[in-house]
Amino acid sequence: MEKFLEFQDVTYFYQTKESEIHALNKMSFNVEEFQFASLVGPSGCGKTTILSLTAGLLQASEGKILLQNKAIAKNDSRIGYMFQRDHLFEWRSIWQNITLGLELQKMNKDPKKLALAEQLLKKYDLYSFKNKKPHQLSGGMRQRVALIRTLVLEPALLLLDEPFSALDFQTRLKVCDDVYDIIKSEKKTALLVTHDISEAISMSDRIIILTQRPATVKTMLDLNLEGASPLEKREDKDFGKHFEMIWRNLSTDEKQTIKSP
Amino acid sequence: MKNKLSKAHEKYLKRLRKDKAIVIFWRIALLACFLGIWQLLADTHVIDPFFFSSPSRIATTLVNLFATGNLWLHIWTSLYKTILGFVIAIVLGLIIAIALWWSDRLRKILEPYLIILNSLPKIALGPMIIFWVGSGTSATVVMSVLICIVITIISMLNAFISCDKDKILLMKSMHANKFQILFKLVLPNALPEFVSVLKINVGMSWVGTVMGEYLSSKAGLGYLINYGSQMLKLDIVMTSIFLLCLLASGMNLLVSLLEKRQQK
């Protein structure tokens, strides 16, 4: 399969008053088209930095980031970003929230885009709520709205920054299934950042395990679990084996960091 | 068709209505008690009605002032200056707060000056204002603006700066420019703070007007208070204070209506 997103020896430093922080070190990995990939690693290793670099919100200090074999530009329209919290604007209706991106890019009069927004709302059972305000929706519904807001812009690549972390466990499992279903049925390529190993295994085709900062790729794991949804994939016989392998990788890295002077 | 309410819900709504009625009753009772006790103390000369006035004396003064036809002029003069000062302070304060949000550097440069201006008692500038802009309406309006503008700038700037960074990042990820971030996120997000600033400034702009009228004016409620105290006509002072209360409450009511509309 062709490489869809490619990190080539990407290094990133960020500056603080106290010092220069070496966040990423010669990071290389790739994600194939329509793949659902996850980044897991110790806390503070730079997972969100990787998403910001991919979205063009930050510029790499060294190395290249390619999407569909073209370098990522600032404000690259091929990329959609979904954050930890839904960040719906409370003063706007659901419809106005969904069409926010279209409005910003002056496409809110485009009948094709508006039809897509309507179609997505209908498909994911939110159409009857289009004139409601965000506070009238449940946590799971709000996350679906946030995802549709991103999908309406028809990005080639979706970046998901722990989008389920603010939800309670039961809602989280349900929303995980919903988001996975939406991404797969809309034929999108996705890169997820998560702290939750089970979530990563149940949703991903590929897991990229990172080291402590300065982060680099420790290992990559391609998965092919049985099941149509993340919830079903949790029942796969190899689920536990993968969990243990990732856990071992992450914990040895933590130990090494503690030992290092 | 209305859904039939359950008994428990009906009971709950009844309790809410009862709570509201109790609050309104006690508000009115408190005012009636205050006025009654005041009148009683004045009638029995426990307090000297010459110095403390009484509700009946205020009512008589009010009727007399209306009869002369001058009271409308005083009310209108003060109201006009207050509204003018209020609007100028809000508009100018908002524009300055936006400029300071827009430019980090400008904000850092002007921050200490804003702090000094905020802590300065503006009344101290009174005599200088008369020299700078002349006496009368302009001096009063400038005083009102000076009292309201700093608090407007500081409060609105804080509201702009505290806008969720992730929401700004979300806007940037959807390719918003700075204008779009301002008008579609930062300003609407700061609306509750804006309403609070309006509420604070209703009182502050009246303070500015009365101060200004004390310093230099030929009409207005502040002028009446000054005139009444100098001529020892303390009923006029109390009547003017009563009118100030009514007018400030009216402006507050308008802001509250705006707040309710915004919350819908």
| A84·B172 Cβ contact <8 A | no
Nearest CA-CA partner of B141 in B199, B186, B79:
B79
pLDDT band at B147 (very low <50, low <70, confident <90, very high): very high
pLDDT, residue B3, reads: 62
- In the sheet that A3-15 helps form, which strands lie side by side, from edge to edge? A20-32, A3-15, A62-67, A70-71
pLDDT, residue A254, reads: 57
* B232 & B174 share domain: yes
Is the distance from CB of B221 to CB of B74 less than 8 angstroms? yes
Is the CB of A153 inside 8 Å of chain B's CB atoms? Answer: yes
pLDDT, residue A259, reads: 41
Helix B71-102 to helix B234-263 angle (10° resolution) is: 40
Measured between CA atoms, the residue of chain B closest to residue A56 is B173
| A101·B180 Cβ contact <8 A | no
| A84·B166 Cβ contact <8 A | yes
At A196-235, the pLDDT tens digits run 999 999 999 999 999 998 999 999 999 888 877 888 888 8
* B127 & B206 share domain: yes
Q: How far is CA A53 from CA A7, A20, A61, A187, B132, in A?
A: 10, 17, 10, 23, 55
The contacts of residue B113 (CB under 8 Å, 6+ apart) are: none
* B138 & B102 share domain: yes
Query: Which class for B10: exposed (0-12), middle (13-18), buried (19 or more C-beta within 10 A)?
Result: exposed
* DSSP letter for each residue of chain B: -PPPPPHHHHHHHHHHHHHHHHHHHHHHHHHHHHHHHHHHHHHTTSS-HHHH--HHHHHHHHHHHHHHT-HHHHHHHHHHHHHHHHHHHHHHHHHHHHHHHH-HHHHHHHHHHHHHHHHS-GGGGHHHHHHHH-SSHHHHHHHHHHHHHHHHHHHHHHHHHTS-HHHHHHHHHTT--HHHHIIIIIHHHTHHHHHHHHHHHHHHHHHHHHHHHHHS-SSSHHHHHHHHHHTT-HHHHHHHHHHHHHHHHHHHHHHHHHHHHHH-
Distance CA(B213)–CA(B138), nearest Å, equals 11
Query: Number of structural domains, chain B?
Result: 2
CA atoms within 13 A on the CB side of A82: 31
At A130-151, the pLDDT tens digits run 999 999 998 888 988 998 999 8
- Mean pLDDT within B238-264: 88
Q: Which two tokens mark B133?
A: 């802009």
Measured between CA atoms, the residue of chain B closest to residue A104 is B176
- Please give, rounded to a whole number of angstroms, the shortest distance from the CA of B174 to a CA of chain A: 6
pLDDT band at B179 (very low <50, low <70, confident <90, very high): very high
In a domain, B52, yes or no: no
Nearest CA-CA partner of B152 in B198, B210, B205:
B198
At B112-131, the pLDDT tens digits run 999 998 888 888 888 888 88
* B212 & B164 share domain: yes
Helix B71-102 to helix B221-230 angle (10° resolution) is: 120
* B238 & B117 share domain: yes
In a domain, B54, yes or no: no
Q: Ranked by mean pLDDT, which of A68-77, A97-106, B49-58, B254-263 comes out on top? A: A97-106
| A75·B171 Cβ contact <8 A | no
- Mean pLDDT within B56-78: 89
Distance CA(A149)–CA(B171), nearest Å, equals 12
Mean pLDDT, rounded, of chain B: 90
Q: Where are the domains of chain A?
A: 1-78+158-171+189-261
In a domain, B203, yes or no: yes
- Chains A and B form CB pairs within 8 A to the count of 43
Nearest CA-CA partner of A36 in A166, A163, A174:
A163
State yes or no: pLDDT of B105 exceeds 60: yes
Distance CA(A68)–CA(B172), nearest Å, equals 22
Task: Name chain A contacts of B180, Cβ cutoff 8 Å.
Answer: 104
Provide the CATH topology of domain A1-78+158-171+189-261. Rossmann fold (3.40.50)
Distance CA(A73)–CA(A12), nearest Å, equals 16
Query: In percent, how much of chain B has pLDDT > 70?
Result: 98
Nearest CA-CA partner of A6 in A46, A64, A59, A51:
A64
Residue B49, preceding bond cis, omega within 30 degrees?
no
pLDDT band at A261 (very low <50, low <70, confident <90, very high): very low
**ipTM value:** 0.82
Q: Which two tokens mark A21?
A: 């922080």
* b (16+ CB within 10 A) / e for B126-146: beebbeeeeebbbbbbbbbbb
| B175·A105 Cβ contact <8 A | yes
CATH of the domain at B201: 1.10.3720.10
Is the distance from CB of B186 to CB of A110 less than 8 angstroms? no
**Which residue range is the domain that position B21 belongs to?**
7-47
A215: DSSP letter: B
| A89·B188 Cβ contact <8 A | yes
Is the distance from CB of A207 to CB of A233 less than 8 angstroms? no
Nearest CA-CA partner of A23 in A41, A5, A4, A2:
A41
Task: Name chain B contacts of A100, Cβ cutoff 8 Å.
Answer: 174, 184
Q: Ranked by mean pLDDT, which of A125-129, A248-252, A253-257, B258-262 comes out on top? A: A125-129
State yes or no: pLDDT of A192 exceeds 90: yes
At B4-28, the pLDDT tens digits run 778 888 889 999 999 999 999 999 9
* B134 & B248 share domain: yes
* B138 & B215 share domain: yes
* B17 & B87 share domain: no
Handedness of CA B134, B140, B141, B147 (dihedral sign): positive
Chain A residues 46-75 with CB within 8 Å of chain B? 55, 57, 75
Which of helix, strand or coil describes residue A14?
strand
State yes or no: pLDDT of A260 exceeds 50: no
Distance CA(B71)–CA(B247), nearest Å, equals 13
Scan for tokens 């009238």, then name that residue. A136
Of B166, B175, B180, the CB nearest to A87: B166
* DSSP letter for each residue of B62-77: HHHHHHHT-HHHHHHH
* B175 & B204 share domain: yes
Task: Name chain A contacts of B189, Cβ cutoff 8 Å.
Answer: 89, 91
Q: How far is CA B90 from CA B99, B186, B195, in A?
A: 14, 17, 11
Nearest CA-CA partner of A208 in A151, A173, A249:
A249
End-to-end Cα separation, chain B, in angstroms: 23
* B236 & B176 share domain: yes
Query: In percent, how much of chain A has pLDDT > 90?
Result: 52
Query: Which class for A165: exposed (0-12), middle (13-18), buried (19 or more C-beta within 10 A)?
Result: middle
Q: Identify the helix (H) or strand (E) that includes residue A169.
A: helix A169-185
State yes or no: pLDDT of B98 exceeds 80: yes
pLDDT, residue A166, reads: 73
Q: Which two tokens mark A257?
A: 């960091």
End-to-end Cα separation, chain A, in angstroms: 42
pLDDT, residue A183, reads: 87
In a domain, B53, yes or no: no
Measured between CA atoms, the residue of chain A closest to residue B180 is A104
Task: Name chain B contacts of A80, Cβ cutoff 8 Å.
Answer: 173
Of B171, B174, B189, the CB nearest to A153: B174
* B15 & B115 share domain: no
